[in-house]
Amino acid sequence: MRQATTIISTGTAGRGLTDITAAIAEWLHETGIEEGLLTLLCRHTSASLLIQENAAREVRSDLVAWLDRIAPEGPHYAHDDEGPDDMPAHLKTVLTGVNLSLPVIGGRMALGTWQGIYLAEHRRAPHRRQIALHLLGT
């Protein structure tokens, strides 16, 4: 049994989802671990991680629009000194979550056929985001 850790950095283009599945899979492959447990932690409070459909692009745009409806910008936040999109970004981060744990079986993450891993940027502006990775296995 052995473990590996790293921190990867990903640029975002502002509000929206970035598919990071291939980057994660590449790091997993480099470690040579075939069976184990992979954990991801997004080290921010206004960006998050989620697993969603990797086929129809409209699923992602509908998701981003729904998050805007559920956590809208507006005058009802006490925390507004970092811009009107900041507090909604914190709320969307809480709703979607910042960590994922994935079984690794046969050298691959045990994702379903239609599942991709996405970094969700909730601020309007592009940001550079860090994700801590931990892998344990054989």
Interacting residues with a second copy (CB under 8 A): 1-3, 5, 7, 35-37, 39, 41, 43-45, 50-53, 56, 58-59, 61-63, 65-66, 70-71, 76-79, 81, 87, 90-91, 93-105, 110-112, 114-115, 130, 132-134, 136-138
Q: What is the DSSP letter of 40?
A: E
Nearer to a second copy, 13 or 110 (CB): 110
> In angstroms, what is the minimal distance from the CB of 24 to a second copy?
13
C-alpha 49: how far from chain center? 2
What tokens were used for 36?
A: 């184990």
Nearest to 118 by CA among 45, 14, 24: 24
Nearer to a second copy, 119 or 137 (CB): 137
> In angstroms, what is the minimal distance from the CB of 117 to a second copy?
11
Nearest to 85 by CA among 49, 119, 122, 60: 122
Report which residue type is found at 88: P
